[in-house]
């Protein structure tokens, strides 16, 4: 049976103030991202929600370039774009392919807030990925990242 490293038990949010800030930000932003994710799934048609929430790989590429200074490789960009195109083709969102029952579409139009939360959810998911990468480079343990998410997303 393995035991946890003592630093995780003694300092679950990191040993330095900068590490603590990263882990708390990861937890809070992760909780907000999940809130947006579930609200989007509960209000939008599944195809629309899936497509809009799958924009995060593209946003992550650019955010990682800005925040972490990572290189944008053509292969990564192509893979991100193809993943969104693939998700769009599979989920067939009504905002791209139209609604099959157009006569009732005016009555059952999803709220605009669902589309806003879908885009915000993608942005926050990208932020979480970049924060995890930054915290990992700073020496955060995986369990510290998970603990921060559990603690702060539960509060939200």
pLDDT in tens, 125-149: 999 999 999 998 988 888 888 888 8
Collapse the DSSP code of 155 into the 3-class scheme (helix H, G, I; strand E, B; otherwise coil) and give the result.
Answer: helix
Q: Residue 32 pLDDT more than 80?
A: yes
Q: Residue 42 pLDDT more than 60?
A: yes
Q: What is the pLDDT of residue 2?
A: 58
Distances from the Cα of 45 to the Cα of 35, 85, 120, 134, angstroms? 17, 18, 17, 34
Q: What is the pLDDT of residue 150?
A: 87
Mean pLDDT of 63-83: 90
Q: What is the pLDDT of residues 83-115, one digit of tens each?
A: 878 777 777 777 677 766 555 555 566 688 988
Average model confidence (pLDDT) across the chain: 84
Q: What is the pLDDT of residue 101?
A: 58
Q: Residue 27 pLDDT more than 80?
A: yes
Q: What is the DSSP string of 73-86?
A: -HHHHHHHHHHHHH
CB of 110 closer than 8 Å to CB of 41: no
Q: What is the pLDDT of residue 1?
A: 47
Q: Does 70 or 103 have the greater pLDDT score? A: 70
Between CA 74 and CA 96 the distance in angstroms is: 26
């Amino acid at each position: 049976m393995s035991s946890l490293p003592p630093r995780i038990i003694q300092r679950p949010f990191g040993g330095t103030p900068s590490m603590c800030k990263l882990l708390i930000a990861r937890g809070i932003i992760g909780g907000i991202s999940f809130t947006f994710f579930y609200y989007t799934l509960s209000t939008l048609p599944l195809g629309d929600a899936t497509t809009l929430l799958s924009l995060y790989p593209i946003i992550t590429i650019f955010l990682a370039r800005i925040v972490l200074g990572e290189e944008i490789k053509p292969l990564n960009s192509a893979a991100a774009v193809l993943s969104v195109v693939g998700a769009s083709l599979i989920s067939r969102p009504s905002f791209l392919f139209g609604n099959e029952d157009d006569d009732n579409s005016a009555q059952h139009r999803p709220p605009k807030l669902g589309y806003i939360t879908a885009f915000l959810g993608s942005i926050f998911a990208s932020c979480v990925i970049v924060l995890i990468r930054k915290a990992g480079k700073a020496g955060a343990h995986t369990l510290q990242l998970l603990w921060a998410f559990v603690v702060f997303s539960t509060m939200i």
